[in-house]
Amino acid sequence: MDILERITPRNMADGISVGAPDDCGFDERLLSRLFKDIVAESELIHGAVFARHGKLFAEAYSGEFGADVLHPLLSVCKSIASLLLGIAIQQGQIESEDTHLLDFFPEIDEPDKREIRLSHVLTHTSGIDWCELGIPYDEPANSHSAMENSPDWMRFVLTRPMAHAPGDVFVYNTGAYHLLSSVLQRATDIPADIFAEKFLFNPLGIEKLSWTRDAMGFPCIAGSAGGLSLAPRSLLKIGLMILDGGFYDDKEIVDNGWLERSMSPVVLAERGLKYGYGWWSWQIRGIQCFSARGYGGQALVIVPELDFAAVFTGLDLAKTKLWEKIFHRLLIEA
C-alpha cells in the first residue's frame, strides 16, 4: 500500500471530522516521511493519529491494529481519572481537590495520613512510601507488583508507611492513584467505570471500551493491568474535547477551570518534565505541550497553542521514546 494512502484518514461516521494535512497546516511530504518511520518501527508503534482545528488529518496503524481496535492505555488512565475527579467536583459530589483523602476512608485509622489531600494523590506527592519506577514491574520488590498480588489493593496502599510529608516530593505512585477508583464510588454512589461512561464517554459518543479490575472488583482507573482500553480515535475525542475548553458537540463535559488547574504544572517530575493533576507538561521551542502517558508508548498529546492533538499506541517496552521523537520532529519540521 502506498504510504500516502496510509495517512489519509477515513470518515467513519464516528463524530470525528476529517480533513487534508495541507488544510490543517501540515506538509504532506513531511507526514509521509514520519509515517514511513512509523511503519518501519511497527513493532513499537501500533497507531498514530493527528488532528488540528478539530479535524483528523492523518492516521496510520500497524498489523492487526486499527482505528476502531481497542488498545490498553495503561497510565494514560491517570489523566482520565483526573478528568473524572473534575467532573465529580463540578457536580458537587466532591467539594474540591483539597478534600482530605481519608475523608473517603473512615474505616482506615492511619493518623500519619490525615494530611494527604486529593491534590497530593493527583500530583504523586502523597508521601506514601512507594517504589515503582526504580524496580522492574515483574519483581516482587516493586510496590505496584506487590499491590497487584494483594487481596485488597486499597488497604495495601493506605496502610503503607509514610516516607515524606504530603506535597514535598514527587514519587510516581500508581497505587495512590488507584485509590481514586474507590473515592469516586464512595462520593457518587456508583462505580467509577459507570460514572465514567455516564458523564464522560457517553457524551463523547464512545461506546466501545473495556476495563481491567482489581481483586475487589474496582475498575483500574490508574492503568494497572492495562486499565482502560479505548480505540485510538476514541482517545482522540478526549483530546479534542480538552482543546475545546471541555466542550464536545456544543455540550460542556468538563469544566474549563478544572482543565486549566489540572494541566498547570505543579511539581518537577523527571527528565525536565513537570506534572499537574494527572498531566505531564514540557516545552518544545517555547511551545507548551501536555500529555497523558502510559507504559509501552501510549500517549495523548495536546498542544493548545497550535490547537493540535495526537494519539500514539504501541508496545515500546524498551522505552525508546519513539513516539516522543516523532512528535518532536512533527512540531519542529512542520
Which pLDDT does position 4 carry in this prediction?
41
pLDDT in tens, 274-332: 999 999 999 999 999 999 999 999 999 999 999 999 999 999 887 778 899 889 988 88
Lowest mean pLDDT among 29-43, 54-68, 166-180: 29-43
Name the more confident of 17 and 37. Answer: 17
Give the amino acid at 194. I
pLDDT for residue 2 is more than 90: no
Cα(98)–Cα(114) distance, rounded to whole angstroms?
12
What is the number of alpha carbons within 13 Å of residue 174 lying toward its C-beta?
28
Expressed in percent and rounded to 5, the helix, strand and coil fractions of the chain are 35, 20, 45
pLDDT in tens, 91-103: 999 999 999 999 9
pLDDT in tens, 135-190: 998 899 999 999 999 999 999 999 999 999 999 999 999 999 999 999 999 999 99
Q: Average model confidence (pLDDT) for the chain?
A: 94
Cα(214)–Cα(270) distance, rounded to whole angstroms?
28
pLDDT for residue 1 is more than 60: no
Superfamily of domain 70-264: DD-peptidase/beta-lactamase superfamily (3.40.710.10)
Q: Where in the chain is the domain with CATH 3.40.710.10?
A: 70-264
What phi and psi values does residue 236 have, to the nearest 5 degrees? Answer: -60, -35
Distance of CA 178 to the CA centre of its chain: 13
Question: What is the band of 88 on the pLDDT scale with cuts at 50, 70, 90?
Answer: very high
- Strand, coil or helix: 288: strand
Q: Which three cell numbers stand for residue 262?
A: 489540572
